[in-house]
């Protein structure tokens, strides 16, 4: 039996040997492909995925080397740069729009204010300049005192005329503002008549007109207070023709 086997082995033709060698080579190649891990099995944190060279016989079949993480990082940086440029451009456009809107608003406000300012300027130009009111002056004599008293009487609604005042002043004191009566009943009672229209102190205080002096010898104050008293008792100094 052993001899027969060896004899058959030797009897293998050259063709049979080549077929066996090819089958062995294909099996080795299949084992080599099976030993290489797939992409699904590769850990995610690895920076690169590479496959070992695969050969059939003495010839290399395939060599793979891909830098996945580097490519993704580069793509992300590029996308961020593009987004930043787009945002900067949008911000610049938005700023220009806001500036133009503000300028337009200021222009509208100025246009609204311009007519009012022009009208105010026109009114100011048309309005005559206010003239200072000259202070009225009076002579420091009987004529000036009577005239000043008449102005104050008109302001306070006290009736009387220049002639009525002048006539009674000349009868009572002869135009002397310092005149005093020391002999009549008022003098005997301690309240002598004083001034241009011979007024006693109680009457002067009761009928004193605001704006005049409280000095009974003051000509204007004396005339005005006496005229005020005569208006209350006689209707007017014009109606007095004797001692009152």
151 shares a domain with 62? no
Q: Does some domain include residue 153?
A: yes
The confidence score (pLDDT) of residue 4 equals 47
Q: Does some domain include residue 83?
A: no
Q: Does some domain include residue 110?
A: no
**Contact predicate 201/192, CB 8 Å:** no
Phi then psi for residue 62, to 5 deg, are -155, 140
Q: Does some domain include residue 134?
A: no
Q: Dump pLDDT digits (tens) for 59-96.
A: 454 444 445 566 666 777 777 878 888 888 888 888 88
Q: Dump pLDDT digits (tens) for 36-58.
A: 444 444 444 444 444 445 444 45
Q: Does some domain include residue 179?
A: yes
The whole domain housing 9 covers: 2-37+46-66
Question: Which CATH number does the domain housing residue 177 bear?
Answer: 1.10.530.10
Q: Does some domain include residue 150?
A: yes
Q: How many domains does the chain have?
A: 2
Q: Does some domain include residue 205?
A: yes
Q: Does some domain include residue 101?
A: no
Q: Above 90 in pLDDT, residue 196? A: yes
**Contact predicate 80/86, CB 8 Å:** no
């Amino acid at each position: 039996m052993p001899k027969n086997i060896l004899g058959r082995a030797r009897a293998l033709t050259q063709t049979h040997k080549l077929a066996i060698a090819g089958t062995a080579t294909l099996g080795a190649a299949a084992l080599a492909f099976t030993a290489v891990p797939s992409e699904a099995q590769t850990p995610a944190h690895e920076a690169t995925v590479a496959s070992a060279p695969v050969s059939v016989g003495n010839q290399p079949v395939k060599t793979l080397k891909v830098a996945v993480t580097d490519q993704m990082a580069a793509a992300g940086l590029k996308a961020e740069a593009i987004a930043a440029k787009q945002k900067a451009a949008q911000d610049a456009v938005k700023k220009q729009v806001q500036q133009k809107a503000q300028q337009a608003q200021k222009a509208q406000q100025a246009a609204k204010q311009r007519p009012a300012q022009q009208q105010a300027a026109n009114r100011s130009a048309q309005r005559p300049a206010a003239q200072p009111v000259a202070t009225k002056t009076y002579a420091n004599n009987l004529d000036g005192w009577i005239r000043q008293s008449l102005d104050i009487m008109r302001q306070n609604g006290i009736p009387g005329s220049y002639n009525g005042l002048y006539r009674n002043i000349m009868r009572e004191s002869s135009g002397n503002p310092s005149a005093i009566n020391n002999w009549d009943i008022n003098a005997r009672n301690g309240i002598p008549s004083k001034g241009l229209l011979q007024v006693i102190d109680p009457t002067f205080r009761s009928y004193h007109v605001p704006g005049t002096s409280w000095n009974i010898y003051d000509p204007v104050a004396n005339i005005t207070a006496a005229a005020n008293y005569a208006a209350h008792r006689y209707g007017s100094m014009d109606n007095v023709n004797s001692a009152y």
